Structure 1
Amino acid sequence: MKHHQFFTLSIIGTMFAMLLAMTSASADQPSYTPYTIGEEGPGGGIVFYLDHTGVHGLEAKRKDEVNQANVRNNKVGVLFYWGDAKAAASAYGSDWHLPTKNELDLLHKQKDVVGGFKYTSYWTSSTEGLNDPFYAAWRQNFFTDDDGIQAKAWAKGMHAARAVRAF
């Protein structure tokens, strides 16, 4: 009988230890709250794309980048050459960048949710398919009644820039 009681207490003790371990392990795990399109993201931008979990996605800065050199020279302050646009977008840290063609297209689809876009074209970081030094990268139109056409952008052209980041 003593052996049976010891065995029962041993099983109960093991089960209690396992339950305690599972509880403390889940308490150590970070909890993730899903985001929604249009709300503030973890980097302070506006969420414009989410994966199926709602935890990972893309966010954009609330405003276009400002080209201080153009502002000082009494020119339109939101237009950049491509290299300057890339530098301005990455100035917030290594995770912020000029969007790829795909990222900018997703952003264009949510332009009214994110807000603040100018009636102009925006730079992408994408250069694939540009085998001519005449072109620097791809751009996308953000005109009011535009369907978001993407086109090759002339290397000497100036377009707006909006930083994005993945989370």
Structure 2
Amino acid sequence: MNSALTTSVCALAFALSGLSYAAPSGKSVAPAIKLQGGSASSVEWRAPVTSSYKVHVFVPNNGAAPNALYRIYPNGKRKDSTECLSSDEKFPCYEVSIDQTQHQNAWTQLTLNDDPETQWAFTKNKGYVSAVASNLAATELLNLSSLIRFENQTIQIGKTYQGGIIFYIDKTGVHGLVAAAKDQSEGIQWHNGFYIDTGATATAVGTGAANTQKIINAQGSGQYAANLVSNLSLNGYDDWFLPSKDELNLMYQAIGPGAIEPITNVGGFASGDYWSSSVYNNHIVWSQSFASGDQFSNYNYIQLLVRAVRAF
């Protein structure tokens, strides 16, 4: 690929990173790119900064390839590699094909399995998106626009992220906790019919997952709160758990009725009592009212609401 082209395309990618989704009226005046089918020709767009992005590309009026191929390299490309493997732990590569005939003069998102929540965690100065023509016949041209949009998926309280709604972000700014967008039960008991020592006494933020596993180890299979969330598969994630006492309170304060506007109860919680995974003793478990915000102990045989959480 011509180095001058690489420079101009990358610069434009930075300048246009804030464009809207909608196709502009009239013809696109962005620089046109033509790649010869069957060749090793390609064009690259570098991610602006280290962050998670949804990626949108602009298809020109003359885009006619039914399988325009894009490759996403979040961490860059392995040296001398010609393969694109999503299973590569250090340098994963993802292929996305779009039918240009269905998106002429319009923005379209690069997605996996048509999932609009598809995003990639790019590394600055390494991660990039490329368009290639090697999959096309030698008689074909791949017509491209240099326009691309890296939509920064900034991690912030109340935003949808990795399967749920963010309610806690740790000091690193890249890890935290999300709550499922809906309740998993309107009423289920905490125990499994026996008053036994589960050892799930921790209450702090970051202990809910361990508590949940202790409860399941002690109580086994059955219909009860911890087992319900542990078996949950939601939005592509299966590592959900019952929040600890302090995690439950954070949900109320950050995305529940106790949150400030404009995200007051963005989590859609009911005005009822929710289970935590933190025990008070073999008979009693900590819970919280999402009507008043009060935390109190409840007998573990009664039926309360359940909202699953997971770490990211």
| TM-score grouping bracket, smaller chain normalisation | 0.5 to 0.7
Q: Within 5 Å, which residues of 2 pair with 1:115-134?
A: 115-127=267-279, 130-131=280-281, 133-134=282-283
Q: Which residue of 2 aligns with 1:85?
A: 225
State the AA in 2 paired with 1:139.
S
Give yes or no for the alignment of 1:163 onto 2:308.
Answer: yes
- In 1, the alpha carbon distance for the partners of 2:283 and 2:155 equals 41
- Displacement of 1:114: 3.3
Q: Which residue of 2 aligns with 1:138?
A: 286
Q: Which residue of 1 aligns with 2:159?
A: 39
Could you report, residue by residue, the CA deviation over 1:76-106 in whole angstroms, capped at 9, with x for unpaired residues? xx11101411111112255200100111011
Give yes or no for the alignment of 1:151 onto 2:296.
Answer: yes
Structure 1: 5+ residue stretches without partners: 1-25, 67-77
State the AA in 2 paired with 1:57.
G
Q: Within 5 Å, which residues of 2 pair with 1:23-34?
A: 27=76, 31=122, 34=154
Structure 2: 5+ residue stretches without partners: 1-74, 78-89, 91-120, 124-152, 192-223, 257-263
- In 1, the alpha carbon distance for the partners of 2:76 and 2:309 equals 32
- Displacement of 1:159: 0.7
State the AA in 1 paired with 2:290.
F
Q: Which residue of 1 aligns with 2:252?
A: 108
> Normalising to structure 2: TM-score of the pair?
0.36
Counterpart of 2:241 (choices 97, 102, 108) is 97
2:246 is paired with a residue whose SS is: helix
Q: Pairwise CA RMSD of aligned residues?
A: 2.1
1:97 is paired with a residue whose SS is: coil
The answer to whether the Cα contact below 8 Å between 1:98 and 1:162 also exists between their aligned partners in 2 is yes
Q: Which residue of 1 aligns with 2:182?
A: 63
2:187 is paired with a residue whose SS is: coil
> Normalising to structure 1: TM-score of the pair?
0.65
The answer to whether the Cα contact below 8 Å between 1:82 and 1:155 also exists between their aligned partners in 2 is yes
- Displacement of 1:40: 1.3
Q: Which residue of 1 aligns with 2:261?
A: none
- In 1, the alpha carbon distance for the partners of 2:241 and 2:266 equals 17
Higher helix share: 1
Taking CA–CA contacts closer than 8 Å with sequence separation of 6 or more, which of the two structures ends up with the larger relative contact order? 1
- In 2, the alpha carbon distance for the partners of 1:54 and 1:113 equals 23
Higher strand share: 2
- Displacement of 1:122: 0.3
